[in-house]
Amino acid sequence: MLYASIKTVHLLANIVWLGGMVFAMFFLRPALATLEPAVRLPLMHEVMRRFANAVVAVLLIVLFTGLWMIGNVARAAIEGGGSFTMPLDWKVKSTLGVLVLLIVGHIRFALFKRCDKSVQAKDWPAAAAVMEKVRFWVLVNMAIGVFVVAIALLY
């Protein structure tokens, strides 16, 4: 029961992360494109601040629940007298999870700071350039997320 609960939390956290990116990229961003930069960019900055903070928390939950599940299976195998070798799909998902964390860290702690400075200075071209970099990295993360979901469903 505990394993199933941890796995549920793990999956729900991934859904929040991936769903938030899909919403931002395919619904929010196009809707805001009709606004003037002086309105659009501060709004996107605020959305990015809130979402990035939530994603950092959510991905830490994903990391810790994933590590717990791996550790639990390894412990059970060893206690049962066997050995544990992490399956290839778990290795791939774990590696991609670390990559996702690094990308989110770059967005939240590097790009967001640049965007914040540009928005505070009302330098709309600079803020727009940073947002374009954020868009690129969110698309990369979204692609990784879809790939991880496919791996999870196929194996």
Model confidence, pTM:
0.90
3-state SS, residue 79:
helix
Per-position pLDDT tens, the chain of length 155: 999 999 999 999 999 999 999 999 999 999 999 999 999 999 999 999 999 999 999 999 999 999 999 999 999 999 999 999 999 999 999 999 999 999 999 999 999 999 999 999 999 999 999 999 999 999 999 999 999 999 999 98
Residue 146 token pair: 């879809």
